[in-house]
Amino acid sequence: MGSTVATRRPAAAEHLPEGSPPGSGPGGPAAPRRGHRDNLAGYLFMSPWITGFLLLTAGPMAASLYFAFTDYNLFDAPRWVGLGNFTEMFADARWRHSVSVTLWYVIIGTPLKLAAALGVALLLSQQRRGQAFYRAAFYAPSLIGASVSIAIVWKAIFSDDAIVDRVQRGLFGMDVGGWIGDPDWIIYSLVALTVWQFGAPMVIFLAGLKQVPRSLYEAAEVDGAGPLRRFWNITLPMISPVLFFNVLLETIHSFQIFGSAYILGGAGGTCGPADATLVYTCYLYVQGFENSRMGLASAMAWMLLLAVGLVTAVLFWSQKRWVHYEEASR
Amino acid sequence: MPTSGSVDRRGLLKIAGGSLAALGLTAAGCGSGSGSGDGTVTIRYAWWGSDDRAKRINETIALFEKKYPKIKVKTDFQPYLDFWKKFNTQASGGNPPDVFQNAIGFLRKYDAKNVLLDLNAQVKAGHLSMDGFRAGLETFGEVDGKLLGVPVGSNSMALVIDEKVFRKAGVSPKPGWTWDDFDAALAKIRDTTGRAGDSGGYGVMYLYDLYLRQHGKAFFTTDALGFTEADLKEWWTKGYAGVKSGLYSDPKKVAQVRPKSALAAEIAGCEFTWDNFTVRYTSEGKSEYGLAPIPTTDGKKTGQYLGSLMLSGSKRTKHPKEVAQFIDFMVHDPEVAKIMGYDRGVPATVAQNEAFQPTDQVGKDIAAYEKQLVDTGVLEPITPHPAGADVAESAFLRLAEELALGTRSVDDAVKQFFTESKTAIGF
């Protein structure tokens, strides 16, 4: 608000009639000049960001929006095809497959990850010895988890005759082999990898849990409420804003999964055996960089943006029903 | 504190000045590197391959720079698939490497996109000699009269076998053996050693190409596929039956061991691939690996031809002369052959081929194999690879795997392959 006022001032000063006495401007004598200088300084300080935004975000986005309606192979000039890319996309069985793989991953992976995060946050919110160590230990995977090396390690763990396979056979007598080569199982190793990286939502949950007033629990205990009841009727409603935030963030995050799926799946035109880990961005990458179809890839990217936008809108709409803000902040 | 502060500031200024000067110097150095200045030129050389190849290539470059002190070579390498992604992006951005490794499947693709330098002018100017190549190889990189690539080595499709497994099963492949003999051999290996015979030849595009050529067809024509849906249906139906009966390796296991080959991982007795890959298997696996002939339909024709890695120049290079000199050195200098060995196949020129006499068993096998191809006269000219051939190849491999895994029916895979190839090649 303040900046808008400041921007208007110099303009107003310019419209003052010539020779009007100093100090008759709306902002007092020195105000117009200082405002101008403030703005300049402000823009100057912002310029690296503005430049970066225009060159690296807004520009490419505009270009990509244009390419989405063209046939563009990077070499020849883009050829306008209207909605051609979109109709091709919907008709492509492999594209529909990538959509279903991604949706499956989001629907299964996200709740599991959030449940793990909340569960561990509940344990860690209690006062006990070595608490700082445990928090750090549980948070660590999400710091390193996005790296390529972890995806490679993961691949090794879930291969034939590796740890997972041996445990399966030794403890449960299940002879299903490693998960990596199996089109029905490999997606679970991907889900396991994302669940393992629950550190970031966990930290947010921890902060949320700290905010719940102890007096509420004490009152409930006096009334004879057990731990489950206290969790259901006090903890959950009280942290629902934090829960909403995490659901939103993790859902968006899950839609954009790429690195781990690409590496776990073996890369190179195939994303997992029989395209089992062909998540949306993986297919987008294949179309763009392997098949040189940048127009189609751009159209796919905008489709993803639309889908994520839609899901976000639905989540925001649904929050009225289950997210409770304190009266004061309403 | 204030005094020391001001001193520090002055000191800082000095350092800043010094580093600015240093920057200026480096900039000057760079300038002379890529431009003229003292006449030194830097060219960028990109290729794909393994660390072992990197060591060899660096040695050859050191040799080149010694002989041509005015030319510096900067290298860049990646595994095969990553190489082409990076190259594609660089080339579209107008910044491709000056000289790079190339293969037949990409010639028409990048020629159509105006990326490849026609080296004919350099041959005329005497910077590059196209004499002394082994039979048929001098025209290998020609497309529509343009010289777009110069072969560095030749290779041919072969059946790489695990010798121990074949001995145990009592199978000894001979030139002219048929596909029925081959299937019988796979069954024998499965029954006597408990190991699947082949790792999945039904997905190898270059093998199917040979099979088609044995029947008077080919995988590609200049602008389309050279076979029908019914042809492919027959090939994949047989492949799928082979997977089900254990003649071919369990595709799940093959996927698990990737990027290691199924043959080296001991889940198959043999694998169809390029003959120079024996070098790779020997370093990857524990067994002994040898070369066997391609099975035939009529007892004679294998459909084989020489394939090759090439060196190509970029059309946008500022130093076409130096690029030509570099390629010339790499394909003709005998020392280069001694360093590279059979890493990129049998050297393309007679001089280089004579300079390198393999002393190890693998090298000797490859030499003997290619000699036998020439002696038996099975070699034929190569068929064209249209633009989009690379995309069709990866679709072929992927769909064959889906079919083997049972996630797609044969009919469905065939239909999907034709759809994707049509889009990629544009027919």
Residue from A79, A98, A160, A179 to probe the interface with B (highest B Cβ count within 10 Å): A160
Look at residues B312, B339, B337 and name the one whose alpha carbon lies nearest to residue B323.
Answer: B312
**Quick one: CATH architecture of A100-317?**
Orthogonal Bundle (1.10)
Q: Which two tokens stand for residue B6?
A: 């001001």
CB < 8 Å to A73, chain B: 113
Q: Closest residue of A to B406, CA-based?
A: A274
Helix (H) or strand (E) holding B163: helix B163-169
B82, B90, B256, best to mutate vs chain A, most A CBs in 10 Å: B256
Asked if the C-beta of B95 comes within 8 angstroms of chain A's C-beta atoms, the answer is no
Name residue, tokens 């909340």: A118
What number is the average pLDDT over the span B16-31? Answer: 43
Chain A residues whose beta carbon lies within 8 Å of the beta carbon of residue B88: 74, 289, 292
E strand or H helix that includes residue B76: strand B71-78
What is the per-residue pLDDT for A34? 62
Q: How far is B28 from chain A (nearest CA, A)?
A: 29
Instruction: Report the share of chain B in percent with pLDDT over 70.
Output: 91
- Whether the per-residue pLDDT at B347 is higher than 90: the answer is yes
CA dist A250 → A194, A199, A318 (Å)? 10, 12, 16
Three-point CA angle A187, A191, A195, nearest 5°? 170
- Confirm or reject contact between A77 and chain B (CB < 8 A): no
Average pLDDT over residues B66-88: 91
Instruction: Give the distance from CA B190 to its chain's centroid.
Output: 31
Contacts of B256 in chain A (CB under 8 A): 159-160, 177-178, 180-181
By C-alpha distance, the chain B residue nearest A269 is B394
Pairing of strands A79-80, A70-71: antiparallel
Determine the pLDDT at residue A270. Answer: 65
Contact B152, B308 (CB under 8 A): yes
> What is the distance between the alpha carbons of residues A266 and B254, in angstroms, rounded to a whole number?
11
pLDDT of residue B39 exceeding 50, the answer is yes
Q: Any chain A CB within 8 A of the CB of B398?
A: yes
- Is B92 an interface residue toward A (CB < 8 Å)? yes
**How many whole angstroms separate alpha carbon A130 and alpha carbon B133?**
73
Least Cα distance to B212 among B154, B156, B294 occurs for: B294
Q: Say if the Cβ atoms of B259 and A266 lie within 8 Å.
A: yes
Would you state the pLDDT for residue B37?
A: 60
pLDDT digits (tens, 9 = 90+) for B182-195: 999 999 999 999 99
Q: What pLDDT sits at residue A267?
A: 53
| Helix and strand totals (H; E) in chain B | 17, 11
ipTM score = 0.78
Series of mean pLDDT values for 10-residue runs along chain A (330 residues): 41 45 47 71 92 94 96 90 95 93 95 95 86 87 79 84 84 79 87 91 93 90 89 92 95 91 71 86 91 94 96 94 69
Chain A positions touching B416 (Cβ under 8 A) are: 93-94
pLDDT bracket for residue B7 (50, 70, 90): very low
The structure's pTM equals 0.80
Give the whole-angstrom CA distance, residue B24 versus residue B306.
Answer: 51
Whether the CB-CB separation of B365 and B277 falls below 8 Å is answered with: no
Give start and end residues of each alpha helix (H) in A68-198: 84-91, 93-124, 131-144, 148-157, 163-172, 186-196
Chain A closest-CA separation from residue B312 CA (Å) = 18
**Cα–Cα dist B67/A22, whole Å:** 80
Residues B403-413 have pLDDT tens digits of 999 989 999 99
State the nearest Cα–Cα gap between A156 and chain B, in angstroms: 9
CB contact under 8 A, B253 and A266: no
Strand partners, B159: B272, B292
Q: Does A183 touch chain B (CB under 8 A)?
A: yes
Does residue B42 carry a pLDDT above 50?
A: yes
Interface list for A 32-51 with B (CB within 8 A): none
Q: Residue B401: which of A93, A177, A270 has the nearest Cβ?
A: A270
The beta-carbon neighbor of B256 closest among A94, A160, A291 is: A160
Residue B333 identity (one-letter amino acid): D
Closest chain B C-alpha to A181 CA, distance in angstroms: 4
Can you give B169-223 as a three-state secondary structure string? HCCCCCCCCEHHHHHHHHHHHHHHHCCCCECCHHHCHHHHHHHHHHCCCCCECCC
| pLDDT higher than 50, residue B29 | no
Selecting from A75, A267, A291 the residue whose C-beta is nearest the C-beta of B424 gives: A291
CB-CB under 8 Å, A181 with B252: yes
Residue A147 vs residue B245, higher pLDDT:
B245
- B399's tokens: 């769909």
* B277-330 per-position pLDDT tens digit: 888 788 888 999 999 999 999 999 999 998 889 999 999 999 999 999 999 999
Residues of A in contact with B402 (CB under 8 A): 274-275
Amino acid at position A151, single letter = A
AA letter at B283: S
Residue B180 is predicted with a pLDDT of 96
DSSP for B298-350, please give it.
SSS------EEEEEEEBTT-S-HHHHHHHHHHHHH-HHHHHHHTTBTBEESBH
Would you state the pLDDT for residue B348?
93
- Across the interface, do B114 and A75 touch by the CB < 8 Å criterion? yes
Question: Do A73 and B113 count as a contact with CB atoms less than 8 A apart?
Answer: yes
A268: left (phi over 0), alpha (psi -120 to 50) or beta: left
Q: In which band, very low, low, confident or very high, does the pLDDT at B93 lie, cut at 50, 70 and 90?
A: confident
- Higher pLDDT, residue B31 or B316: B316
Of A93, A159, A269, the CB nearest to B256: A159
Question: H or E element: which one contains B72?
Answer: strand B71-78
Residues of chain B with C-beta less than 8 angstroms from the C-beta of A180 = 255-256
Sign of the alpha-carbon dihedral angle for B87, B89, B94, B95: negative
pLDDT of residue A268: 53
